[in-house]
Amino acid sequence: MNYKDLHPLLQSYQPTTIVHLAACKTIAVSENESLFEKVNVIGTQNILSIASEYKIKRFIFASTAAVYTEKLDSQQYVEEDLTIPSSQYGMSKIKSERKLKNWSEETNSQSIAFRFFNVAGGFAGGIPESLGSNLIPRIFQCISTGQQIEIFGDDWNTPDGFAVRDYVHIRDIVDAILISISNLEESNLNRGMFEIMNLGTGNGYSVMEVIEAIERLNLGQIRYRVRPRRVGEVGFAVSNPTYGYHLMGIKCARDLNEMVQDYAELLRNTQSTF
C-alpha cells in the first residue's frame, strides 16, 4: 500500500482506529518473496507510519494461523506457541506482527493482531471469492464447472488422512473486530499494549468433512482427485480461542454447516453459479 495514497483517505475519514485487513494471501503467490515483502510487510509499515503521522493510537491487524510452527501432535494452537512459519505468506505476517508490536511500544498505542484461522461463510451484501485457494469457494466452483476439486495430500497424520482446519465464519470475524474496537475505544486495555489473539472456533474439520457438509446441500456432484502435498502447508491447524474470550468476550460460535449454507446463499443472492 503506497504511503502517499493513504493521505487522502485519512484526511477524508479522520479515523480514530485503523483495521488493516489487506494482504497477498494465496500460498502460490506469496512464495514470490519480493511481492509478499512489498505488499504485506512494507504495506503494513506504511500504514503504521501514516498512523503515527495522524496520531492514530488504535490499530487492529489481520494476521494468520500460518505464522505457527507445525505441530506433530494435533494439539490446538495457543498464542504463545512457536512461530517459525513454513510459508512465505506466514513469514510476512509474523514480520508485520513484530512491526506492529514495536509501533505500539514506540508510540504508546494500543494494537491487536488477530490470527485468523480459515475464514469461510458469507453475508448479505457480500462478494463471493473468485480467486485464491480457499477450500470452500473452490468446491462450489467445481460444482458449477463440473471439474474435479484438487485435494493436496491424503496421508496427513489426522483421523482420515486429510488435512484438518479450523473454519471461522466471516460474520464471527466481523463481530470480533467490532468488539475489539469497542474495547479499545473504552480504554479497557493499557496504552502501549500489543495483544495477539487467535480467531477460530476451536473445532477442526478435515477436507473430506467439508466436502460432505457441502454434499448435504444437494447442489450437485463433487468430484475430487488427490495430489501431492503443497509446500508450506501443514496437516493440522486448529485454534485454542479461549484467550480472546477471557480478555474481551470474543466467541466464534457459527459451525461448518452454517458456513457452507451461508456461502451457498451468497452465491444465489449475487446470481453466481455453483
Give the tens place of pLDDT for each residue, 44-98: 999 999 999 999 999 999 999 999 998 877 899 999 999 999 888 899 999 999 9
Q: What is the pLDDT of residue 30?
A: 46
| Distance of alpha carbon 117 from alpha carbon 102, whole angstroms | 24
Sheet with 236-237: strands ordered across: 205-206, 164-165, 236-237
Question: What is d(CA 147, CA 224) in angstroms, rounded to the nearest whole number?
Answer: 8
The owner of cell 502447508 is: 233
CA 162 to chain CA mean position, Å: 20
Written as nine digits, the cell of 155 is: 496421508
- Residue 85's alpha-carbon distances to 27, 114, 173, 183, 202, in angstroms, are 12, 16, 23, 30, 20
What pLDDT sits at residue 28? 58
- Cβ atoms 183, 234 nearer than 8 A: no
Closest CA to 229 of 177, 154, 178, 161: 154
Looking at the chain, the whole-number percentage of residues with pLDDT higher than 90 is 73
- Tell me if residue 114 falls in helix, strand or coil: strand
Which positions ≥6 away from 66 have C-beta within 8 Å?
Answer: 85, 86, 87, 89, 90, 93, 237
Length of the chain: 274
Residues lower than pLDDT 50 in the chain:
30
Question: Could you tell me which residues come within 8 angstroms of residue 23 by beta carbon, excluding any fewer than 6 positions away?
Answer: 39, 40, 43, 62, 92, 93
Q: What is the pTM of this model?
A: 0.92
Q: Which CATH architecture has domain 3-269?
A: 3-Layer(aba) Sandwich (3.40)
State the cell numbers at 188: 479497557
Predicted local confidence at residue 236, as pLDDT: 92
Cβ neighbours for 206, distance < 8 A, ≥ 6 positions apart: 158, 159, 160, 162, 163, 164
3 state SS of 58: strand
Bridge partners, 236 (sequence order): 164
Contact 184, 259 (CB under 8 A): no
